[in-house]
Structure 1
Amino acid sequence: MKIKLALFLSLLFFASCNSLRTRNIVYLSDLEQQALITEPVEMKRLSIKPGDLLTIEVLTPNRETNMMFSRGLIDDEGVGGGGNQMRQGGRGSEYLVDTKGTIDFPVLGNLKVQGLTTEQIRDSVLLQVQEYVQDPIVKVRLQNFRFTMLGEGGNRIIEVPGDNEDVNLLEGFAMAGGISVYGKMEKVLIIREENGVRTMARVNLNKKETLYSPYFYLQQNDIVYVEPTNAKVSGTSFIRRNWGFAAGLISSAFVLYRLL
């Protein structure tokens, strides 16, 4: 009798897990089964937006010249007042991009950086600094690259180090701990704001076409949401509605098992 009861409970368990076994939870599962696949890669580099925080470091053979391109005062107006913030850091000076997409750089004055990549900003600053000093070195880093994972992809904000500007969706999920077995990999929602426009797009992580999506590489402040499966939603709703009944049923089954 105990064997029959145990078998009955096991059947209930496997029936509840049936939907998970039939779902495709493999990344890029439609890739051809070949030992080697080679394709060109086209990265979308991050472009600077108002509110971004940049670190710009100018290095020259002369210490006084270095200070000339790095000294500055904090402007209390900040982004909200259309001003520029700057503070001295260990790896250069930090500049908060104002609402007009500009920063106020020592000696060079007002620089338009909105829409540019850090490489383009570096080249522009380098070209202008060369008018004052020979053989300068310019380093530009984005300090506020972060994105948010929600739902079955984790619930956390990921801060990306300033030296890493190429983070794709797969790397993002790895940083967040991966997608749970209850996540809809075929319906991953990405919310992005660019140039005052909010866009919402869905990508299918089961399909290799995601690799070519403009949303494959993450941008500043992207929000990535992985929906739960219907099985999890239904199961959670059932437990909430019938928690007392389920607890009583489990207790009764346990007592019956002990008596038999």
Structure 2
Amino acid sequence: MKQFGCFVLVALFLTACQSYKKVPYLQDVEAVTQTEQQGKLFDATIMPKDLLTIVVSCENPEAAVPFNLSVATQASAALTVSTATTVQPVLQQYLVDNKGNVMFPVLGELHIGGLTKKQAEDLIVGKLKTYMKDAPIVTVRMVNYKISVIGEVTRPGTFTISNEKVNLLEALAMAGDMTVYGMRDNVKLIREDANGKQTIITLDMNKAETILSPYYYLQQNDIVYVTPNKTKARNSDVGTSTSLWFSATSILVSVASLLVTILR
């Protein structure tokens, strides 16, 4: 009997150890520190359907006016000439089409799809030198850079990234981290490329090597899905089965009561 009890304790201990190994993120850190890494910073590339702001400036502000279109807002349109209140004009936003092009004032159609912000800025600066005597300064920003986190996380949702750079751990942190039912070794990343092709990548957050993956940094419109474990699936089945059982029981009770009333 004592041997059986010891066997049960050992089995429970091994099970607990095995379960714990599935919980911590980024295990085997030594393997990453020993790996030779290339020090290259992530820089997002412009893709179709990106919404951009492009601001042109130079020493002579009047020379940059034709390249900075503004949009009238409801607040500014409602103001009359005699109104003393001033409203900051809203700059025109540019939607990148499916071919990676935008229509820019004076310069016309620009192909900037697949370029980083810095490359796009350099491209526009090169074209502006024909029209401006002073050295132009161009600033490109992505307005709709967002990612979504769904599945077994505390606060699933879509998040706008202001600095246009976010990694997988930061995305999970925005969603309140995984719940106890989330599978750390089965996180799905759904990504659509510039041609509209969707790819599903499986990432193991238990392994420290994940930070070296080309998918560790997220692109705009990426979707992160945290897969539920078997415990969550069983609990879901129990809840559904219990509801069905209670529904069936209540129906049977109602039928029995009706039969008793009729037979009387």
TM tier, shorter chain?
0.7 to 0.9
What is the CA distance between 1:224 and its match in structure 2? Answer: 0.6
Residue 223 of structure 1 and its aligned partner are, at CA, apart by 0.9
Distance 2:48 2:33 in 1: 45
Q: Which ranges of structure 1 fall in alignment gaps of 5 or more residues?
A: 1-13, 75-88, 247-260
Cα distance in structure 1, aligned partners of 2:53 and 2:213? 30
* 2:146/2:159 contact within 8 Å kept: yes
Q: What fraction of aligned residue pairs are identical, expressed as a percent?
A: 37
Aligned to 1:201: 201
* Offset at residue 40 of structure 1 (A): 3.7
Find 1:50's aligned residue among 28, 48, 51. Answer: 48
Alignment CA distance shift 1:141-1:201 (3 Å): same
Taking structure 1 as reference, are residues 23 and 91 closer, same or farther at Cα in structure 2, changes over 3 Å only?
Answer: farther
Give 1:127 shift: 1.8
SS in structure 2 at match of 1:211 = helix
Residues 72-108 of structure 1 show CA distances to partners (whole Å, capped at 9, x for unaligned) of: 789xxxxxxxxxxxxxx85743111122211111121
Distance 1:27 1:42, change over 3 A: farther
Separation in 1, partners of 2:231, 2:172:
22
Q: CA deviation at 1:35?
A: 10
Query: 2:147 touches 2:160 (CA, 8 Å); kept in 1?
Result: yes
| Counterpart for residue 181 of structure 1 | 180
| 1:169 aligned partner | 168
Q: Which residue of 1 aligns with 2:252?
A: none
Distance 2:244 2:94 in 1: 57
Alpha carbons 2:31, 2:209 under 8 Å: kept: no
Q: Paired residue for 2:64?
A: 66
Matches within 5 A, 1:88-237: 92-131=91-130, 132-153=132-153, 154-161=155-162, 164-194=163-193, 195-237=195-237
- Distance in 1 separating the partners of 2:213 and 2:31: 22
2: distance between equivalents of 1:214 and 1:102? 26
- Residue 32 of structure 1 aligns to a residue whose secondary structure is helix
Structure 2 gaps, min length 5: 1-11, 73-87, 247-264
Q: Residue 242 of structure 1 aligns with which residue?
A: 242
Match for residue 5 of structure 1?
A: none
Pairwise CA distance, 1:28: 0.3
Normalising by structure 2, we get a TM-score of 0.72
Q: CA RMSD in A?
A: 3.1
1:42 CA displacement: 3.4
- Give the direction of change, closer, same or farther, for the CA distance of 1:90–1:145 in structure 2 (3 Å limit): farther
For 1:156, the aligned partner's letter is: G
1:29 aligned onto 2:30: no
AA in 2 matched with 1:200: I
Look up the SS of the partner of 1:232 in the other structure.
helix
- 1:258 maps to what in 2? none
Determine which structure has the larger helix proportion and give its number: 2
What's the offset of the Cα at 1:34? 11
Contact 1:45/1:166, CA 8 A, preserved across alignment:
yes
CA contact (8 A) 1:57 1:91 kept: no
Asked whether the equivalents of residues 58 and 92 of structure 1 are also in contact (C-alpha less than 8 Å), the reply is no
How much does 1:37 deviate?
Answer: 9.5
Shifted more, 183-192 versus 170-179: the winner is 170-179
Deviations 1:201-225 (A, max 9, x none): 1010111221121211101111110
Deviation of residue 33 (structure 1)?
A: 9.8
1:106 aligned partner, one-letter code: P
Q: Aligned pair in 2 of structure 1 residues 149, 126: CA closer, same or farther (>3 Å)?
A: same
CA distance in 1, matches of 2:21, 2:218: 26
How far apart in 2 are the matches of 1:44 and 1:198?
A: 21
